[in-house]
A and B are shown apart, each in its own frame.
Chain A
Amino acid sequence: MMDTLETKRKFRQVGTRPIRPDGIDKVKGRALYGADVTAPGMLVGRILRSPHAHAEIVAIDTSAAEALSGVKAVVTGRDLVAQKDDFFRDIQENCLATTKALYDGHAVAAVAAVDASTARAALKLIKVTYKQLPHVTDVDAAMTPGAPIVQGGRALETVPKGMSANVTNQVEFGHGNLDAGFKQADLVVSRSFTTAAAHQGYIEPHACLAQMNADGKADLWCCTQGHYFVRTTCALLLGMEASQLRVTASEIGGGFGGKTVVFIEPVALALSRKAGRPVKIVMTRDEVFKATGPTVVTSMDVRIGMKKDGRITAGEAILRYSGGAFPTGTVEMGASAAFAAYDLAAVHTLGWNVLTNRPKEAAYRAPGAPQAIYAVESVIDELCQKLNLDPLDTRLKNAARKGTLSSYGPTFDDIGLVATLEAAKKHPHYKAPLGKNQGRGLSAGFWFNFGGNTSVSMTINTDGTVSVAEGNPDIGGSRASISLMAAEELGIPYDKVRTIIADTASLGYNENTDGSRVTFAVGMATIHAARAAIAKMCARAAAIWGIDPEAVEWVDGAAVPAGPNAGKFPPMTLAEIAAVANNTGGPIAGHEEFTADGAGVSFGVHLCDVEVDPETGYTTVLRYTVFQDAGKAVHPAYVEGQMQGGAVQGIGWALNEEYIYGADGRLQNAGFLDYRVPVASDLPNIDTVILEIPNPGHPYGVRGVGETPIVPPLAALSNAVSHAIGLRMSSLPMSPPRILAALSHKG
């Protein structure tokens, strides 16, 4: 269902910055996160993980662990229901391996015991007989003919015969005549790039508490970005009916896409079923790094042709992505997004997903797009440098607009790229002087955004307040934004509305908090629910006044007679109607269950200045400005927070974050000491400029904003560093040893 934009609407609440409703609890340490829930008789669950990158599981002997005093249950892959569908079988195998351990850290068994030290001791008593197999963690190596095969028989029909069995997906996008395009170019630049796998790095590790009763009914509390998806998956893996499993989402200490996945929940349920007691599992940080997240690791080739005046004549990208040991479709998003910012006559992208002995990739903000766009924006920057062109003017010259046939197929409606580029060009940052060893980089970025299945219920309470129940865990302040939209539509103050995240038994299905969909889709459902409640309130007023319901309209939070013919009655406010509701027909509520379409794509432009110490390769980020189209910023502080957070995470990917594997295929940096996210003192203030080019698909014009901001930083940083050191960098992260090595080879 798609909505039309109310272009003339004057907002009263939307666009303000009220205090976040979850703020005080979080600041005071009272918010209940995944690990904070307890139950009487609760056991501690712990997971045994493969120490090998790739190994056949010959046998698992759990008898000694089961015999240990204090151990109440031990489970292995055999305790989960074998799934037929590939998608769910992969989740099942990732939760507990049955035949092969596919990466260092792959779960193979689990115990529930009376305390943590007993559980740890029990893990040591589980005897797993492994037959080690050759492994491969490098994406290019995994594509070569003799590479160890991670999983055979997983290639989709789109993959041509003769490729390595590790290649599972092939995707292609584009239009126009590439050869002709390259012939028209005055300059063609081709370059190869690599990016490392990066972890979402949320502060809160995965945690859950499962309680399965003897009658087969179960409750699960967990930290997730989507408890409905958790319910679907756990019900399948445990062989339960969905109605028998109620899942409640805790507060969430970060997710960034990495908690749209199920890891420990089915294991905790299986343990609880066996033990007959509640079981809590909390991952250690080491487990989080080894067995959850990260992004794809990539190797890419990009070729772009340009005229002397900056017009791009042709663009081509070949992407090799690995999402770890299980097939993933992320490369499709990379191949779709690579050239999406540009209006091109000839464009072609080809992508493969390749299996490696790494953990199963999880979504991370705009999955697949930052990498491909990094490669494309780096080559555009190099072309501008070599043709002596202004990089912003050049992007403006090629920018996609309303009516552009996008590189991935659809024709764009109203989009904000040109406005965003122009805002960057006007900004003082763009012309600010630079010193020695300093460089400026910029990049455009794009993300599709998503809508999806959504349910919201709204209750008008008799005291004139409003309760909104929605089903999407709040990771970016969405409760505030949803309350703002409810208040706006109903015409009541923000603080009269409280929005909660309901459990899976209380609302219809909700897709995950992902795809930058919540403020857009849940917001739209809330507006619809409010309109349904308003219709009922108007009907109540009409009944009280003895006039036709059609003769009543809702103005500024009150029912009023529509026009002079309807009769003369003083307005009845929401509170006045609510106060008498129980005597005039019963409780008043509104709800919406729908599929939200019309999520408008979003564009961002990042500008960044760096200084590189030529003797150590150390990069200091001096200045950073984010420009982004938000459609309509419902709560501008949260929009800025998303823009800043994405930039900061992208800075981390660009400079230091990477999964480092040893020759043994084991992860060497499974902790925050050697997996280096930026610390506060590494960063300048991230300045933000919000643009509002309304999305025609939302009544208030809202676009998702959560993912786009991680797309441009990689190329913005790489372009800035390349200018600062006078050398084109083409591999991420640009850690000091890499920069210094590049400089020393330059001589």
Chain B
Amino acid sequence: MQYAKPTTAAEAARLLSAASGVTRVLAGGTDVLVQLKAGMVEPDLIVDIKHIPGIRTLQAEAGGFRIGAAVSGAELGEHAALCAAWPGVTEGAQLIGSKQVQGRCSMVGNLCNASPAGDAVPGLVAANATVRVEGPNGTRDVAVHAIPASPGKTTLQKGEIITSIFLPARAPRSSDAYLRFIPRSEMDIAVASAGVNLTLDAAGTITAARVALGAVAPTVLLVDACAKAIIGTKLDATALAALEKAASAACKPIDDKRGTIEFRTKVAGVLARRAAVIAYGRAGGKL
């Protein structure tokens, strides 16, 4: 097993594209190292990206935020402006693990680990965030939603890494929220989850919405029917019921040790409804 510590993204991409066998990018390592210890993967090459300049920087850009790929959950949580603008995104990222894990884990690692249950992902998809991908063929910006391919697989090509996430500028009266269901109060994996991102007009009517569901399909779901159910409403009881129904209808979950199809389908609807209420309040809406 080889360990490399490149100092530019281009070098990281070159190492990864030249490698034969199994490779892993090392950001926080809270997935990679656990998988390594459990004998689930035996990589031939590990590329630690944390020494690439800018990869651990979080800064304002074009009215929004550019977040380096290796910025940890704890660093996100300490960034007041980011938390104020994107409370749903940051609460998703901060639900990951414990204090110790928060000191290391990154949103990009969460995205690229490609678990359908990743807690940072629905919030980012609801936010319409993009990632900057660096690879053998140069740089491209891609919607977060387009990264997961299937459980454990991404659409990144050989040699490609993500260097940053971009969260766009916010319209006034916008906010978001993320909720997950776990059987315990912490240290667990989402059985179902929902991220809701909303913009209101001055009267409190929803003018734009994105609703993403996690752990109820092979990859995160962006559910247009949920958005349609609440756009143009003030999130009254009828709108909430329609949202819940649309969310449940979109679910394509599996039965497994963590939850049944029946359970995940019902609870995803409940979480979408509850998250919408929170986001609506945060955006200044009154119910």
Using a CB–CB cutoff of 8 Å, the interface residues on chain A facing chain B are: 120, 286, 615-618, 655-656, 660, 668-669, 673-674, 676, 678-679, 681-682, 735-737, 740-741, 744
A682 contact set on B, CB distance < 8 A = 184-185
B257–A674 touching, CB < 8 Å: yes
- A526 vs B286: C-alpha distance when bound (angstroms): 70
Which residue from chain A places its CB closest to the CB of B255 in the assembled complex?
A737
B185 contact set on A, CB distance < 8 A = 679, 681-682
- A611 vs B21: C-alpha distance when bound (angstroms): 52
A741–B258 touching, CB < 8 Å: no
Quick check: is B105 within 8 A (CB to CB) of the other chain?
no
* Among A120, A674, A681, A744, contact of B186 (Cβ-Cβ < 8 Å): A681
Quick check: is B136 within 8 A (CB to CB) of the other chain?
no
Quick check: is B266 within 8 A (CB to CB) of the other chain?
yes
A673-B189, A674-B257 are known contacts. Are A740 and B184 too (CB-CB below 8 A)? no
B39–A618 touching, CB < 8 Å: no
A615 contact set on B, CB distance < 8 A = 266-267, 270
A679–B257 touching, CB < 8 Å: no
A736-B263, A740-B263, A740-B267 are known contacts. Are A679 and B258 too (CB-CB below 8 A)? no
5 sampled A-B residue pairs with Cβ under 8 A: A669-B257, A676-B183, A682-B184, A736-B191, A737-B260
Which residue from chain B places its CB closest to the CB of A678 in the assembled complex?
B184
Quick check: is B187 within 8 A (CB to CB) of the other chain?
yes
A674 contact set on B, CB distance < 8 A = 257-258
Min CB distance, A670 to chain B, in Å?
Answer: 11
B260 contact set on A, CB distance < 8 A = 737, 741
A660–B187 touching, CB < 8 Å: no
B184 contact set on A, CB distance < 8 A = 656, 676, 678-679, 681-682
Contact with A along B181-201 (1 / 0, CB 8 A): 101111111010000000000
A618–B186 touching, CB < 8 Å: no
Residue of B38, B259, B263 most packed against chain A (CB within 10 A) = B263
- The 10 closest A-B CB pairs, nearest first, are A737-B263, A681-B185, A615-B270, A660-B257, A668-B257, A682-B185, A737-B260, A679-B187, A656-B183, A682-B184
Contacts beyond the supplied A120-B39, A676-B188, A678-B184: 17 A-B pairs with Cβ under 8 Å: A286-B38, A615-B270, A656-B184, A660-B257, A669-B257, A673-B188, A674-B257, A676-B183, A679-B186, A681-B184, A681-B185, A735-B183, A736-B191, A740-B262, A740-B266, A741-B260, A744-B266
B259 contact set on A, CB distance < 8 A = 736-737
A616–B267 touching, CB < 8 Å: yes
Residue of A660, A668, A737 most packed against chain B (CB within 10 A) = A737
Which residue from chain B places its CB closest to the CB of A736 in the assembled complex?
B183
A741–B262 touching, CB < 8 Å: yes
Main SS of the interface on chain A? loop
Interface residues in B27-47 by Cβ distance below 8 A to A read 38-39
Which residue from chain B places its CB closest to the CB of A286 in the assembled complex?
B38
Using a CB–CB cutoff of 8 Å, the interface residues on chain B facing chain A are: 38-39, 181, 183-189, 191, 256-260, 262-263, 266-267, 270
- A246 vs B116: C-alpha distance when bound (angstroms): 52
A617 contact set on B, CB distance < 8 A = 263
B262 contact set on A, CB distance < 8 A = 737, 740-741, 744
Min CB distance, A117 to chain B, in Å?
Answer: 10
A679 contact set on B, CB distance < 8 A = 184-187
Min CB distance, A613 to chain B, in Å?
Answer: 9
- A318 vs B267: C-alpha distance when bound (angstroms): 37
B266 contact set on A, CB distance < 8 A = 615, 740, 744
- A428 vs B110: C-alpha distance when bound (angstroms): 47
- A679 vs B182: C-alpha distance when bound (angstroms): 12
- A737 vs B189: C-alpha distance when bound (angstroms): 15
- A504 vs B267: C-alpha distance when bound (angstroms): 56
Which residue from chain A places its CB closest to the CB of B187 in the assembled complex?
A679
A736–B181 touching, CB < 8 Å: yes
- A617 vs B182: C-alpha distance when bound (angstroms): 11
Min CB distance, B118 to chain A, in Å?
Answer: 14
B188 contact set on A, CB distance < 8 A = 673, 676
Which residue from chain B places its CB closest to the CB of A733 in the assembled complex?
B183
A618 contact set on B, CB distance < 8 A = 181, 183
- A682 vs B184: C-alpha distance when bound (angstroms): 6
Which residue from chain A places its CB closest to the CB of B37 in the assembled complex?
A284
B181 contact set on A, CB distance < 8 A = 616, 618, 736
Which residue from chain B places its CB closest to the CB of A681 in the assembled complex?
B185
- A744 vs B187: C-alpha distance when bound (angstroms): 28
- A592 vs B191: C-alpha distance when bound (angstroms): 57
- A681 vs B184: C-alpha distance when bound (angstroms): 8
Min CB distance, B37 to chain A, in Å?
Answer: 9
- A682 vs B189: C-alpha distance when bound (angstroms): 15
Min CB distance, B269 to chain A, in Å?
Answer: 9
Which residue from chain B places its CB closest to the CB of A613 in the assembled complex?
B270
Which residue from chain A places its CB closest to the CB of B274 in the assembled complex?
A615
Min CB distance, B12 to chain A, in Å?
Answer: 27
- A286 vs B37: C-alpha distance when bound (angstroms): 12
B189 contact set on A, CB distance < 8 A = 673
B39 contact set on A, CB distance < 8 A = 120
Min CB distance, A319 to chain B, in Å?
Answer: 27
Which residue from chain B places its CB closest to the CB of A677 in the assembled complex?
B184
- A188 vs B217: C-alpha distance when bound (angstroms): 47
- A741 vs B183: C-alpha distance when bound (angstroms): 15
B256 contact set on A, CB distance < 8 A = 668
B191 contact set on A, CB distance < 8 A = 736
A678 contact set on B, CB distance < 8 A = 184
Min CB distance, A404 to chain B, in Å?
Answer: 41
Which residue from chain B places its CB closest to the CB of A614 in the assembled complex?
B270
A120-B39, A660-B257, A668-B257 are known contacts. Are A741 and B186 too (CB-CB below 8 A)? no
- A618 vs B38: C-alpha distance when bound (angstroms): 30
A286 contact set on B, CB distance < 8 A = 38
- A615 vs B240: C-alpha distance when bound (angstroms): 14
Min CB distance, B96 to chain A, in Å?
Answer: 13
Which residue from chain B places its CB closest to the CB of A655 in the assembled complex?
B183
A737 contact set on B, CB distance < 8 A = 259-260, 262-263
- A615 vs B186: C-alpha distance when bound (angstroms): 19
A744 contact set on B, CB distance < 8 A = 262, 266
Min CB distance, B186 to chain A, in Å?
Answer: 5
- A120 vs B39: C-alpha distance when bound (angstroms): 10
- A120 vs B38: C-alpha distance when bound (angstroms): 12
Which residue from chain A places its CB closest to the CB of B266 in the assembled complex?
A740
- A61 vs B39: C-alpha distance when bound (angstroms): 24
Which residue from chain A places its CB closest to the CB of B185 in the assembled complex?
A681
- A75 vs B237: C-alpha distance when bound (angstroms): 68
A740 contact set on B, CB distance < 8 A = 262-263, 266-267
- A668 vs B191: C-alpha distance when bound (angstroms): 16
B258 contact set on A, CB distance < 8 A = 674
Which residue from chain B places its CB closest to the CB of A658 in the assembled complex?
B257
- A494 vs B135: C-alpha distance when bound (angstroms): 69
Min CB distance, B255 to chain A, in Å?
Answer: 10
- A382 vs B181: C-alpha distance when bound (angstroms): 31
- A521 vs B133: C-alpha distance when bound (angstroms): 68
B183 contact set on A, CB distance < 8 A = 618, 655-656, 676, 735-736
Min CB distance, A328 to chain B, in Å?
Answer: 26
